[in-house]
Amino acid sequence: MSASGSMPELRSGIFFFGLALFVLWESLRLELGTLKTPGPGFLSFGAGIGLAVLSLALITSGWGKRADLKAHSRRVILALLALFAYSLILDTLGFIVATFLLVAILFRLGGYFRQWWTLVAASASVALLAYLFFGILLNVFLPRGLFSF
C-alpha cells in the first residue's frame, strides 16, 4: 500500500516551520535580553530563526516534489498504541501485570506464537523473568501497582 503523490519534504517543512513559530513565540515570552546580557530566551530565539529559515528552504525545495511514501503499517500503529498505553497503566497495574499485557501484544503482533496458550505462557515467563532480573537481581525499583506486586 502506498500513499502515492504525497510531498514528504513539503509536509516536514510545514511541520518544522510551525514548530519554529511556536519556539519564537515562547522565546519572546521568556525574554530575549540584550547582546550585553542575553536572557533565557536568547538561544532558543536564535535557533528558532535558524529553524524557520531552513524549514522555509525545505518547503521551497519540496514544493511539487512527489514521492511514494509507504503507508503506515497496522503493526506499527498497534505497537505504538500498546507502548503509550503501557506508560499510562504501568503505575496503576504494576510492573508484572502491565509488562505481561505489553509483551503479549508485542508477541501477537510479531506473529511468532500461533496458539493462545503458548502466547500467554511465554508472555508471563518474560514478565516474571524481567522482574526477577531487573527488580530482584539488579535492584531496580519497579512499580508495584494496585496488586502490590
Partner 1 sequence: MNLFYCFFGVLMGTLVGVLPGLGPSATISLLLPVIFHVPAVSAMIMLAGICYGAQYGGSTTSILVNIPGEAASVITCLDGYQMARTGRAGPALGIAAFGSFIAGTFGVVGLMLFAPTLANFALRFGPPEYFSLAVMSLTLVTYVSRGSLVKSLIMAFVGLIMSTVGMDPITSRARFTFHTAALLDGFEIVYVTMGLFGLSEVLINLGQSLKKVTVSDSETSLRNLLPTRQDWKDSARPIARGTILGFFLGILPGFGPAISSFISYAMEKKISRHPEKFGTGVIEGVAGPEAANNAASSGTFIPLLSLGIPVNPSTAILVGALMILGLQPGPLLISARPDLFWGVVTSMYLGNIMLVVLNLPLLGLWVQILKIPYALLYVFIVLFCQIGAYSVNNSVDDVLLMNAFGLAGYFMKRYEFEGAPLILALVLGPMFENSLRRSLMFGGGDPLIFFTRPLSALFLVVALVLLFSPLLTRERIGKKVIEMKEEEG
Q: How far is CA 131 from the centre of its chain?
A: 24
Q: How far is the CB of 27 from partner 1 (least distance, A)?
A: 9
Residues lying near partner 1 in the complex (CB under 8 A) are found at 8-9, 11-12, 16, 19, 23, 26, 30, 34-44, 47-48, 50-51, 54-55, 57-58, 61, 69-70, 72-73, 75-76, 79-80, 83-84, 86-88, 90-91, 99, 102-103, 106-107, 109-112, 126, 130, 134, 138-143
Specify the residue, 115 or 139, whose C-beta has the smaller distance to partner 1.
139
Angle between helices 8-30 and 42-62 (to 10 degrees): 160
Helix, strand, coil shares of the chain as percentages rounded to 5? 70, 5, 25
